[in-house]
A and B are shown apart, each in its own frame.
Chain A
């Protein structure tokens, strides 16, 4: 189970972990035993707590085995119970992974390094929050970019003829950019938003629901125009590639 694998990392951030479902303690004991789960699995038989949170899935007809299930999701709360962040998917068959939440919430190093590319202007290291995935899971992809000394690239929203940095990728969630810096260019009397030094771009990727077990390659590109204090260089696109391993969903039931 992915959450168990990430437990130490989550606990290192001072967070306790508990997972809540409508199963009985006996079913949970069996499940925890089979999977080596050490954190509390809480038995919300009758779905009272699921209802109190207001996340009961009311689309399930009464009398169905699934009656009483929640909309699946994750809360991060502080010690007083105040919600610091929450991760819910609109789509029933998609869900956030613990590793994705760690990367997003805490800027954790994305677990699975992918590739490093170097150009005249910058170095790009790509990673995924996890390389082992299942269909419907949502993971985080990161690009850690380090510009060479005195180089800058343009941030989104830049005006005029400047080309902003762009992470090209089909079927992925929007890119999260860091705050840009305003750079004043005395020569042309303009102030433009730029990135310099080291920065991270991040975006989520949902593994397609039809993804079959085996290798899944995601491709994209990073387009940018770099400039230093003297000149601007020709715009470039660096090819990006992530190789993930799709695993089959667990089908085993408690006896």
Chain B
């Protein structure tokens, strides 16, 4: 593991250990997610409507593409 990533992870793990309680997981099943409008990697603005297929969408939140 890179030193940078190790250091960041270590900070997060320590802080998580200090933080109390369960993590927040956002809107509950059955509730609606907030609207969003964000640029993608090609600079194209995307919304839920623009990414959704016929049944909806899988929206993945992740830490970072950079470390």
Contact = CB atoms under 8 A, between A and B. Distances in A.
A17 B28 CA distance: 19
Given A53-B26, A60-B15, A40 B51 contact: yes
Secondary structure dominating the interface of A: mixed
Contacts of B55: 13-15, 78-79
Contacts of A80: 32
Contact of B51 (A16, A57, A74, A90): A16
B25 A60 contact: no
Most buried by A among B22, B51, B60: B60
A28 B48 CA distance: 19
B15 A61 contact: yes
A15 B66 contact: no
B58 A15 contact: yes
Contacts of A69: 12, 63-64
- The size bracket of the interface on B is 35 or more
Interface in B13-67: 13, 15-16, 18-19, 22-36, 38-44, 46, 48, 51-67
B63 to A, nearest CB: 5
Interface of A: 3, 10-11, 13-23, 25, 27-29, 31-32, 37, 40-44, 49-50, 52-61, 64-66, 69-86, 88-90, 92-93, 98, 101, 249, 251, 253-254
Given A53-B34, A59-B12, 12 more contacts: A20-B38, A32-B41, A40-B44, A55-B61, A57-B12, A75-B27, A75-B33, A76-B57, A82-B32, A93-B9, A98-B58, A254-B65
